[in-house]
Amino acid sequence: MTAKGRRVTAFAKSTAVSTMPVRPGKTYPLSVLDHAMEQHVLHMVFYYRSGPTVDRFRLKESLSELLCYFPAITGRLTKEDAGEEAGGWKRWIVRCNDAGVRLLDARADATLEEWIGTATAAEERELAYWEPMGDDPSIWSTFYVQITEFKDKGYAIGLSCTHMHADITCATLFIKAWADSHRRACIANAPFFHPTALLPRSNPNPFSPLLSLKSSSPTSAPRRMASATFRFPSSSVRSLLSHLPADSTPFAALSALFLLAIYRAASLDPGPHALTVVTDFRKRMYAPLPHGFYGNATHFSRVEVDPAAGLASVVGQMDSHVSGLQEEEYWSTIEWLAERWKHGNRGSASTFRMYGPELTFVKVDHVMAYESEMVEGVRPVHVSCWVGGSEGGEGVVMVLPSPEMAEGEEAARTVEVTLPAEVAEKVFTDEEILGYGTTVVFSGRVN
């Protein structure tokens, strides 16, 4: 089940189902924000060293036990009429019918350390299996799990899912809940199924210049993309921050560092450039959503920065933008999406790319990825994440947590970068970035 020369061999495909049946007829509607993510797919890979209580059988057993708490994950998508008050458009809902999650078993011809040290970005993509939706969504699994064993009994858990079901926070907490279940511990961040929490207000204020621009932008032609992962230890990030104002954040500092490298590599015109910034708003609402809120609670906003003004200026602009986001902006975006669907031609309002086509910076360094302990006290050694459906744009820079953060090194970060290949070639060898002592892994073309 693998091409000659590849180091990952898939040898079995099965379906993981819940150990308890769902009440017949149960459905789960997706929110308008969920619908907006239709063109995108999430992929995550969690790497673990071997453990005495970890084997395929036990992992599958604990996954089936966990799925009792996630009926929407084991269901299948279908469309239903949203009603005349909603303009007659057809919305996605999940029929919670216990159809299960697709599960792939695989082996890698390398030890865990060899893999992290030598695997390319394209090879890492082989650890997160995915099948696009076919003509009949009612038989299509929205979640795929891959368990890959390395030669030293280390293993990787790959998760792929439609972005309509989950954002990065939600997908991370699913794996964390699986880890809790595997250890026979209480699920610390239980799923909170409440899509009506993001229904438009009674007096809506639909306003989103960014999404208006995205929805009217022509689809860009496919481009060859390349990806790399940069691991910044605390000492590197502190060194970077030492040249910046005291209140600068690692996210803004690293985003600006890469933006300036991209600016040099792409020979961009001087002057301000518009960027998209993606943030999680669960805990930024007046009535905060639980960490375990199921679905999408991410906000896409626009900021203009001037790379020619230098690193400190860009950092200040990024930090000021993120800290200045208000709850009204979140609601206005949700209500703009709701109005777009309401006035669509009976459901024909097409979706559009949320990640891109402009350069997009994703702030997800808050997620609890390294608290996903399948074995007590044994954290993942690395967690990767990338978004499908963003190809063809100017690129995505994602700032993630680092395994060092779990050890108290709060400044450490991981940065995953996907750029057009001709730009990536220069950025991935940029002296300014490498001068901070970062380690580069999983580098190379992905298509």
Q: What is the 3-state secondary structure (H, E, C) of 56-81?
A: HHHHHHHHHHHHHHCCCCCCEEEEEE
Angle between helices 234-241 and 250-266 (to 10 degrees): 80
Task: Give me the residue spans of the domains in the chain.
Answer: 10-195, 209-445
pLDDT at 306: 94
Residue 202 to residues 138, 199, 331, Cα–Cα distance (Å): 33, 9, 11
Amino acid at 40: H
Q: Quick: pLDDT tens for 312-359.
A: 999 999 999 999 999 999 999 999 999 988 776 444 457 899 998 999
**What is residue 21's three-state secondary structure?**
coil
Indicate the pLDDT class of residue 89, thresholds 50, 70 and 90. Answer: low
Question: For a pLDDT cut of 90, what percent of the chain falls above it?
Answer: 83
Amino acid at 147: I
Contacts of 185 (CB under 8 A, 6+ apart): none
63 and 104 in contact (C-beta within 8 Å)?
A: no
pLDDT at 83: 59
Look up the CATH architecture of domain 10-195: 2-Layer Sandwich (3.30)
Q: Quick: pLDDT tens for 281-303.
A: 999 999 999 999 999 999 999 99
pTM summary value: 0.96
Q: Quick: pLDDT tens for 211-227.
A: 999 998 887 777 899 99
Q: Is 123 left (phi over 0), alpha (psi -120 to 50) or beta?
A: alpha
**Residue range 353-376: average pLDDT?**
95
**Superfamily name and number for 209-445:** Chloramphenicol acetyltransferase-like domain (3.30.559.10)
Q: Which residue has the tokens 């940029």?
A: 430
Indicate the pLDDT class of residue 255, thresholds 50, 70 and 90. Answer: very high
